[in-house]
Amino acid sequence: MNDKKIGLGSVIATGVGLVVASSCLLTLGIGAGNIGTPFIITMVIACLVNIFTLLSIAELNALMPNLTGGLAQFSLACVGPFVTIICMVGGYMLCNSLAGSVEGAVFGNTFAEIFSNLGIPAWVFTVILIVLLAITNLNGVDVFIKVQDFVAYALIISIVAMGVMGALGIGTGEIVEQPAALATDFKSITGLCGVAFFLFVGGEYVIPLTKNCKNAKRDIPLGMVLSMLIILAMQTFLTLGFKNYTVWGDLASSTTPQILYGQVLLGPFGKYWMLVITLLAAVSSVNTVMGSLAYILMGMSKINLLPQMFSKVNKKGAPYIGILLETAIFITLNVTGLSSTSSISYMISVLAVLWLISYIISNLNVIILRRRLANAPRNFKTPLGYTVPILGMLGSAYMIYNIDPSWEVKLSLYKVVLVTLLVLGTYSFIWVKTKVKRPLFKPYAIKEVMAMENELYQEYHSKENMEKFQNKLLRRTNA
């Protein structure tokens, strides 16, 4: 874990890995199928907003480097433990646990559909995938990165190839005569920003890899931004390919738009190629969620926002408690069928709002620390003063507003989010009062947050050691 051997390519692979997922291919089909090629403009807007937030996170990382908890520790130093727990548990643990389960389900459902003659239930394919990825993650960051590098770049090359062939009209299938744009008005284009958000969320998952980077000062911010731009280019080519080969209406209604596109583009060969892409996307996203989230949970446990068991590592240096917990959640949700129900897209929208709220907090953190520690050294600083974090906050808020085109659905989502925040708030209040025993909203000093990364901090601040120190002091006083 202490050998800094990860380069820019691996940072990009991890950034692309979580973001480009099977559910993103489904989301892209829905967005493009509704308004046509103008959805590219929607994606550009969503990509820019996410880049603003990632730049803010890069500045926080530059001020507090090498923190395995990433956003949790940044927020702890800015808004205190109460808000931090709500954002991290709601915006990351819940969201990514469900997202990873959904990716596994999409993978299983796709394979079960293609190989229906075998009569194997979809969840069997999913469980096999999850167990194999759990084994790779339990073997430490080196194996995780090797798998991620191969899968992510194979995924990029495959999607770009399929997209370019479709955009240039050089597939073997029949080109469809249809309008490029179904809607061009401002409301239609920006109204799908909430949908486009799913295509770019999660680039900050490279933060826990900072301590393993050869050149973190350059590779972390540059890797996150390049990941977003690469993904935007990939999705743009696919959208143009959809226009040439896939009827918009069929695309919008399909549950496996990538398979539909592959078949009409290249026939049976294209269908199986897209099946491979679905496999790569599932492996990439589930692998990244399982590995990176385990390190974030470890970081949160180091700052006493989660039980200390998440700090334990195996002989390979992997935080095995978090990995095994995520594995159990993924398998349970898929075996019970919860992650493949019709309500899953609704729940992902709820959790996306929670994720966007955590993005707003991240941008707010930059503003707070700019004012509180204006002269503190930073090896990376977002340009144009407060412009980037403010645009990140406003953009995230706008995507929350446009999380769904229907006002009825939107209000329903907001109600569920409010209830979820109340439950998380209750949990956070109890945990801070009984375990953390610090003021709810008082931020920690940055030097204390960074000291928490050291195992000695937990050793000397444990209840047992504090009692020993107090007893020793009492004996000296009595003597």
Contact 206, 226 (CB under 8 A): no
Least confident piece of the model among 11-15, 205-209, 279-283: 205-209
Considering the domain architecture, whether residues 314 and 463 belong to the same structural domain is answered as no
Considering the domain architecture, whether residues 135 and 253 belong to the same structural domain is answered as yes
Residue 288, in any domain of the structure: yes
In this prediction, residue 245 carries a pLDDT of: 93
Residue 388, in any domain of the structure: yes
Q: How far is CA 54 from CA 23, 86, 360, 402, 447, in A?
A: 22, 20, 11, 21, 23
- Segment 231-251 shows an average pLDDT of 92
Residue 263, in any domain of the structure: yes
Sorting pLDDT into bands at 50, 70 and 90, what band is 2? very low
Residue 2, in any domain of the structure: no
In this prediction, residue 459 carries a pLDDT of: 58
pLDDT digits (tens, 9 = 90+) for 297-322: 887 787 777 788 888 888 888 888 98
Which residues, in sequence order, are bridge partners of residue 6?
213
- Segment 171-178 shows an average pLDDT of 90
**CA distance linking residue 315 with residue 143, whole number of Å:** 14
- Segment 73-87 shows an average pLDDT of 84
In this prediction, residue 87 carries a pLDDT of: 80
Considering the domain architecture, whether residues 122 and 91 belong to the same structural domain is answered as yes
Identify the residue with better confidence: 362 or 405: 362
Q: Which DSSP string do the residues of 141-191 spell out, in sequence order?
A: HHHHHHHHHHHHHHHHHHHHHHHHHHHHT-SSSPPP---SBS--SHHHHHT
In this prediction, residue 1 carries a pLDDT of: 41
Residue 187, in any domain of the structure: yes
Does residue 472 register a pLDDT over 60? no
In this prediction, residue 311 carries a pLDDT of: 82
pLDDT digits (tens, 9 = 90+) for 412-443: 999 988 998 898 899 889 988 888 888 888 88
How far, in whole angstroms, is CA 184 from its chain's centroid? 30
Considering the domain architecture, whether residues 414 and 459 belong to the same structural domain is answered as no
Identify the residue with better confidence: 92 or 295: 295
Considering the domain architecture, whether residues 459 and 335 belong to the same structural domain is answered as no
Considering the domain architecture, whether residues 214 and 328 belong to the same structural domain is answered as yes
Residue 339, in any domain of the structure: yes
Contact 45, 196 (CB under 8 A): yes
- Segment 261-265 shows an average pLDDT of 90
Contact 250, 242 (CB under 8 A): no
pLDDT digits (tens, 9 = 90+) for 183-238: 888 888 888 888 888 888 877 777 767 777 777 778 888 888 998 999 999 999 99
Does residue 60 register a pLDDT over 50? yes
Residue 178, in any domain of the structure: yes
**CA distance linking residue 84 with residue 71, whole number of Å:** 9
Assigned token pair, 214: 């050869």
Please state the domain count of the chain.
2
Assigned token pair, 328: 């159990």
In this prediction, residue 353 carries a pLDDT of: 85
In this prediction, residue 247 carries a pLDDT of: 92
- Segment 20-26 shows an average pLDDT of 71
Considering the domain architecture, whether residues 126 and 175 belong to the same structural domain is answered as yes
Question: Could you tell me the residue range of the domain that residue 220 belongs to?
Answer: 8-444
Considering the domain architecture, whether residues 18 and 35 belong to the same structural domain is answered as yes
Residue 59, in any domain of the structure: yes
Mean pLDDT for the chain?
81
Identify the residue with better confidence: 5 or 97: 97
Q: How far is CA 183 from CA 34, 176, 235, 293, in A?
A: 8, 18, 19, 39
In this prediction, residue 469 carries a pLDDT of: 45
Considering the domain architecture, whether residues 233 and 381 belong to the same structural domain is answered as yes
Considering the domain architecture, whether residues 169 and 183 belong to the same structural domain is answered as yes
Write the CATH number for 291. 1.20.1740.10
Assigned token pair, 442: 């008082």
Considering the domain architecture, whether residues 438 and 456 belong to the same structural domain is answered as no
How far, in whole angstroms, is CA 258 from its chain's centroid? 21
Q: How far is CA 252 from CA 34, 225, 248, 257, 425, in A?
A: 6, 29, 6, 8, 37
Looking at the chain, the whole-number percentage of residues with pLDDT higher than 70 is: 86
Considering the domain architecture, whether residues 334 and 473 belong to the same structural domain is answered as no
Q: How far is CA 47 from CA 19, 189, 324, in A?
A: 12, 14, 33
In this prediction, residue 12 carries a pLDDT of: 80
Does residue 261 register a pLDDT over 70? yes
